[in-house]
């Protein structure tokens, strides 16, 4: 019962989170931040940011 | 004005999640295009791109050797993209002479790794798989059978997400995947799916065009190019790959963020996919892929317009929305309870 309730409570959160993903995705796309799996450009940028 | 915005937003959201599946159900009844599946043994090149896959490489190779397909017809290619965790050493140990390895010492990304793998592919059919998922023994056979139909250019298999009891996951992310597979099955029956499953899909090698470096979603771009070229990209749930379900919504969020960024990239790279008379699955692409991109803005418009509409039924809508977002906040608290407790303990410890 407690487990089922926990799952139900997570549904709205999951829905909101999944709908935040396109907004974040657009931000990454517009900023030209590649998100490909092990994309070298993404790694380079992360390193640059760390150095800054 | 607020009323118009409210109803446009409301209709768009309902269409994306409920109207579109209903439309597909109707459409399928009117114009179902069956695939003439016939079991055959065409030569296949199975391409797997890997970066740091130390924990998966042995199991993946074992999985490849256990596939139910004649060894002389199956070329396994592993394209290594500058691994730094010893994946290459482990791979050479367990693969022996049975696997063709392309090793690039400079990291170039998955798209380029796939291009390198394809460059040495000999099979008439090229199958793509990921390192982390287990293929069912009959997966290659099931995928290849669909290519007996000349109109088929790409075939996507199904990813089955397993829960802790090794049954198909039925809640949260697992439920979402089941909904997604139902959509894909209907889209496939009508014409084509606007994207394959990265863990298991196959194409005719002659239809492959090298991927643009930095491509995020090879499993969407490759099938879409094939569809735009006049062939079908179908979904066959009989060809299966298995993976463990992501338990946390945050884990799924990261995956979703990447795939949705990839959708923007797809529209930028293939603008003709947005031209109705050039894309035979224009309605499916817009409803399935673009629809998901606009829903958050519709949700924001729905809430904002509702602030100006407080009479009659609008009051109920407002109440429901506020309740929904309060529940989302509670869900966030529940989901991050462990992290907050650890942070508190750290603070106390200091």
Nearest CA in chain B to A18: B253
Q: What local confidence, expressed as pLDDT, does residue A3 receive?
A: 67
Report CA dihedral (B307, B311, B316, B321) to the nearest 10 degrees.
-10
With CB atoms and an 8 Å threshold, state whether B265 touches A38: no
Query: From CA B19, how far away is CA B235, in angstroms rounded?
Result: 21
Select the more confidently predicted residue: B51 or B247: B51
Yes or no: domain B44-273 corresponds to CATH 3.90.550.10? yes
Tokens of A43: 């790694």
What is the 8-class DSSP label of residue B274? Answer: G
Contact criterion met (CB below 8 Å) for B231 and B174: no
Q: Which of B133, B248, B256, B338 to mutate to test the interface with A (most CBs of A within 10 A)?
A: B256
Stated pTM of the model: 0.85
Query: Residue range B138-150: average pLDDT?
Result: 96
Percent of chain B with pLDDT over 90: 67
Query: Residue range B77-85: average pLDDT?
Result: 92
Query: Residue range B296-311: average pLDDT?
Result: 93
A&B contacts, CB < 8 Å:
120
Query: From CA B242, how far away is CA B247, in angstroms rounded?
Result: 15
Distance from CA of A52 to the nearest CA of B (A): 23
Query: Residue range B158-166: average pLDDT?
Result: 80
With CB atoms and an 8 Å threshold, state whether B331 touches A37: no
Alpha helices, H only, chain B = 2-14, 20-30, 57-65, 87-95, 110-119, 139-145, 173-190, 218-228, 249-269, 282-284, 291-307, 313-335, 337-349
The model's confidence at residue B345, banded by pLDDT at 50, 70 and 90, is low
Query: Residue range A34-48: average pLDDT?
Result: 51
Select the more confidently predicted residue: B252 or B239: B239
Q: What local confidence, expressed as pLDDT, does residue B336 receive?
A: 77
The model's confidence at residue A30, banded by pLDDT at 50, 70 and 90, is confident
Distance from CA of B48 to the nearest CA of A (A): 13
Query: Residue range B159-185: average pLDDT?
Result: 78
Residue B166 scores a pLDDT above 80 = no
Cβ of A32 under 8 Å from any chain B Cβ?
Answer: no
Residue A23 scores a pLDDT above 60 = yes
With CB atoms and an 8 Å threshold, state whether A34 touches B292: no
Q: What local confidence, expressed as pLDDT, does residue B46 receive?
A: 96
Nearest CA in chain A to B215: A36
Query: From CA B173, how far away is CA A20, in angstroms rounded?
Result: 16
Distance from CA of A48 to the nearest CA of B (A): 17
Tokens of B258: 């990447």
Query: From CA B153, how far away is CA B204, in angstroms rounded?
Result: 6
Query: Residue range A7-35: average pLDDT?
Result: 82
Q: What local confidence, expressed as pLDDT, does residue A34 receive?
A: 60
The model's confidence at residue B230, banded by pLDDT at 50, 70 and 90, is very high
Which residues touch B129 (CB under 8 Å, ≥6 apart)? B46, B47, B48, B135, B199, B200, B241
Mean pLDDT of chain B: 90
Tokens of B213: 């470096």
């Amino acid at each position: 019962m407690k487990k089922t309730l926990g799952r139900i409570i997570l549904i709205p959160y999951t829905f909101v989170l999944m709908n935040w993903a396109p907004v974040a995705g657009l931000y990454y796309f517009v900023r030209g931040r590649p998100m490909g799996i092990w994309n070298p450009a993404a790694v380079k940028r992360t390193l640059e940011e760390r150095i800054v | 004005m607020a009323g118009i915005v409210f109803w446009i937003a409301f209709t768009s959201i309902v269409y994306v999640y409920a109207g579109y599946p209903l439309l597909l159900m109707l459409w399928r009844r009117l114009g179902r295009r069956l695939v003439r599946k016939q079991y055959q043994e065409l030569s296949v090149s199975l391409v797997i791109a890997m970066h740091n896959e130390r924990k998966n490489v042995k199991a993946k190779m074992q999985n490849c050797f256990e596939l139910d397909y004649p060894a002389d017809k199956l070329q396994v290619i592993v394209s290594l993209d500058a691994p730094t965790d010893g994946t290459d050493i482990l791979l050479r140990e367990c693969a022996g002479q049975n696997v063709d390895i392309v090793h690039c010492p400079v990291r170039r990304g998955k798209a380029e790794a796939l291009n390198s793998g394809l460059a040495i592919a000999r099979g008439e059919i090229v199958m793509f798989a990921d390192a982390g998922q287990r293929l069912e023994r009959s997966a290659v056979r099931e995928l290849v059978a669909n290519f007996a139909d000349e109109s088929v250019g790409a075939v996507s298999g199904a990813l089955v997400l397993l829960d802790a009891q090794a049954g198909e996951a039925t809640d949260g992310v697992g439920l979402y995947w089941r909904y997604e597979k139902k959509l894909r099955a209907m889209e496939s029956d009508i014409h084509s799916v606007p994207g394959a499953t990265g863990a298991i899909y196959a194409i005719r090698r002659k239809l492959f065009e090298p991927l643009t470096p930095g491509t995020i979603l090879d499993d969407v771009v490759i099938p879409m190019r094939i569809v735009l070229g006049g062939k079908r990209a179908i979904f066959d749930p009989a060809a299966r790959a298995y993976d463990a379900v992501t338990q946390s919504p945050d884990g799924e969020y990261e995956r979703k963020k990447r795939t949705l960024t990839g959708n923007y990239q797809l529209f930028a790279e293939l603008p003709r996919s947005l031209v109705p008379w050039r894309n035979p699955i224009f309605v499916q692409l817009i409803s399935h892929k673009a629809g998901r991109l606009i829903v958050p803005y519709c949700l924001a418009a729905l809430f904002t317009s509702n602030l100006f509409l407080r009479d009659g039924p609008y009051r109920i809508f407002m109440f429901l929305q506020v309740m929904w977002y309060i529940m989302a906040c509670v869900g966030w608290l529940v989901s991050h309870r462990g992290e907050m407790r650890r942070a508190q303990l750290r603070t106390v410890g200091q």
